[in-house]
Amino acid sequence: MSETKKAVSAVEWDLSDLYASPDDPRIEQDIELLIQRAKAFESTYKGKIDCLALTAGTLGDSIREYDSIARDASKLDAYASLRFAADTSDPARGALLQRTMEKITEITLPLLFFDLEIAKADNSIIEGLLADPCIAPHQHYIRTARLLRPFQLSEIEERLLQETSNTGIKAFRRLFEEVTSRMTFDVDSEGLTQSQVLALLYSPDREKRRTAAAALSEGLGQHANTIAFIFNTVLQDKSVNDRLRHYKYPEQSRHLSNELDREIVDIVIETCTSNYSVVKRYYSKKREVLGLPQLTHFDRYAPLFSSEDACSWDAARDIVLESFGEFSPVMRSAASEFFDKNWIDAAPRKGKRGGAFCHYVTPDLHPFILQSFLGRNKDITTLAHELGHGVHSYLSRGQTYLNFHGTLPMAELASTFGEMLVFDKLQKRASAKERLALYADKIEGSFATIFRQAAMFRFEQAIHKHRRECGELTVDDYGRYWQDNIQEMFGDSVILGDEHRLWWAYVNHFIASPFYVYAYCVGELLVLSLYQKYREDGARFADRYMDVLRAGGSLAPQELMSKLGVTLHDPEFWRGGVAILEREVSEFESLWAEYKAG
């Protein structure tokens, strides 16, 4: 055990490829230079893009300079935010981050006109330039910016909306964050934060889970009227905005930014909601494993068993690299660099940010990964997840900065795939008991990302519709839509108690970015469906998949998937993902039968 800690405690990242230290004079030089470049960009190109005399040369030069300013500014951001994430308790790191953000705003402001002008420029002129060889690498960026064209208002109207939003919708979003982050939840006369109380729902002790659930509802209940007021305001703000911009239905703006059409999203959601039976099957079996007469809202995340053996950092690295290597040698060698060149910070430390992430940084550098590795199976899958992201961004480094990041539903393309590969490996070498726990984790994780988000999307559709057709909603209205949609997912396998009626009230996505939730659902089901295709096509699939990763965000989702012979409009493709989940649940059922008998 101490061996594990010793080894992993030395796993810290080396940020010197960004800057040598917080006192590195290059930081100040880069800030000054970028401010000058941004100002020069504005004076050179403002009014020249949305202009009848626009040439391919001007458009090409401007995009390349824009790309380069954005890329270099993001290195400053990466350095300050990565240092802060490594130790959030150090005030100097917080101050550097705050200062960097302010400077980046200063760099960004003079650039704001650019996207607007690209969107507004005359159609026949832009279409004529798109075929020019110097514009070709930027086609996707230009086309995406121009998708918003029919929904943009005049510059004066846009500015008015922008400026008044700080005391309007943005103020309500901030109020929501303030209200929810200041809430305390009373557990055994101790005031817990939201994340602390939610963590207790994973406790093996049922009484602890029951107490936590009651405290969560009690805490939310005290602010329910305020939160319902904020929700009503957000719904109405969206309704007004959609009307002014001539969006035809509430989800339309989200579909545009995700570069997905309505038909695809509807097929995915329909595939999920018509297969809720798999959720019911799993939880019925989980109830049996836990030996409870009935499962309720605070039993969903209950672990099957209370402890497991810890895995060393070296062993975890070997498992991940082996699994990646069996899929593709390219994936393995890309992932190896992260270990060999110190791009990972895995040491658990006080003050380090919670959770895990992979920061893509820029195409001319390399990504960084942060996690706190404690040797549990879920730490190994987290490592696989983040390394999947890492390999994705590493392979996309041939792209320009603006083509580097994919859309939201494509963001988990390699991470979830990496998890699948490692899961297959882990479960093959595990004992019967460990396999049961592994399957439970895997299935519950997928359910939370796929079916739960689909149910939440349905809830969101219902409340937006209600606000538009019947006016404001009461706390009870929200509770009814919430309970109905989530209960439908479980069937009779989990009976949600009345306390659960308030649990819509802490979901930040509903406030911060309406209809965000479906991207999780589309993204994860997409990867499961692709994994199914990999099982059918084998090595041939792996090579083409690597090509998709190399394309980064240079193509729209459907264009990327065409490289794999996938049509996102085909319901059968999405059924493949559900088939994987069904097989996992069957496997869980037979593992339990064996375990019980043995």
Q: Which residues bind Zn ion (CB under 5 A)?
A: 415
Q: Which strands make up the sheet holding 357-359, listed edge to edge?
A: 344-345, 368-370, 357-359
**275 vs 415, beta carbon nearer Zn ion:** 415
Whole-angstrom distance, CA of residue 192 vs CA of residue 198: 10
* Structure token pair of residue 489: 């997912």
Q: In terms of CB distance, is 60 or 406 closer to Zn ion?
A: 406
Q: Least CB distance from residue 335 to Zn ion, whole Å?
A: 15
Strand blocks (E) in 121-240? 185-187, 190-192
Distances (CA, A) of 492 to 286, 354, 442, 481, 526: 13, 35, 22, 17, 28
Distance separating alpha carbons of residues 172 and 34, to the nearest angstrom: 33
Alpha helices, H only, 310-368:
313-327, 329-340
CB of residue 416 to Zn ion, shortest distance in Å? 7
Helix, strand and coil in the chain, % to nearest 5: 70, 5, 25
DSSP 535-579: HHHTHHHHHHHHHHHHTTTSS-HHHHHHTTT--TT-HHHHHHHHH
By beta-carbon proximity to Zn ion, the closer residue of 387 and 475 is 387
Residues 551 and 392 sit within 8 Å (Cβ to Cβ) = no
Distance in Å, CB of 270 to Zn ion, minimum:
25
Q: Which is nearer to Zn ion, 100 or 415 (CB)?
A: 415
Minimum gap (Å) between residue 553 Cβ and Zn ion:
15
Query: Sign of torsion, CA 352 356 360 366?
Result: positive
Least CB distance to Zn ion at residue 412 (A): 5
Least distance from Zn ion to the Cβ atom of residue 68, Å: 27
Our CB check for Zn ion shows the closer of 258 and 415 to be 415
By beta-carbon proximity to Zn ion, the closer residue of 69 and 410 is 410
Cβ distance 131 to 394 under 8 Å? no
Crossing angle of helices 518-537/262-273, nearest 10°?
Answer: 80
Question: Which of 233, 371 has the CB closer to Zn ion?
Answer: 371
From the CB of 385, what's the least distance to Zn ion, in Å? 6
Q: Which helix (H) or strand (E) holds 359?
A: strand 357-359
- Measured from the CB atom, is 334 or 473 closer to Zn ion? 334
Please identify, using beta-carbon distances, which residue of 211 and 415 lies nearer to Zn ion: 415
Assess contact for 487 and 496: CB atoms under 8 A. Answer: yes
Q: Which residues contact 95 (CB under 8 A, 6 or more apart)?
A: none
Instruction: Output the six-digit token pair for 316.
Output: 């975890």
Instruction: Say which residue the tokens 């739960």 belong to.
Output: 452
Q: Which two tokens mark 253?
A: 């703006």
Least Å distance, CB 356 to Zn ion, is 8
Q: In angstroms, what is the minimal distance from the CB of 264 to Zn ion?
A: 21
Q: Judged by CB, which is closer to Zn ion: 415, or 493?
A: 415
Q: What is the rounded CA–CA span in Å between residue 79 and residue 96? A: 10
Q: With beta carbons less than 8 A apart as the criterion, state whether 525 and 448 touch.
A: no
Residue nearest to Zn ion according to CB distances in the complex: 415
Nearer Cβ to Zn ion (81/415) = 415
Which phi and psi (to 5°) does residue 417 adopt?
-65, -45
Sequential DSSP letters for 192-222? E-HHHHHHGGG-S-HHHHHHHHHHHHHHHHH
Q: Which is nearer to Zn ion, 31 or 335 (CB)?
A: 335
Minimum separation from the CB atom of position 462 to Zn ion (A): 28
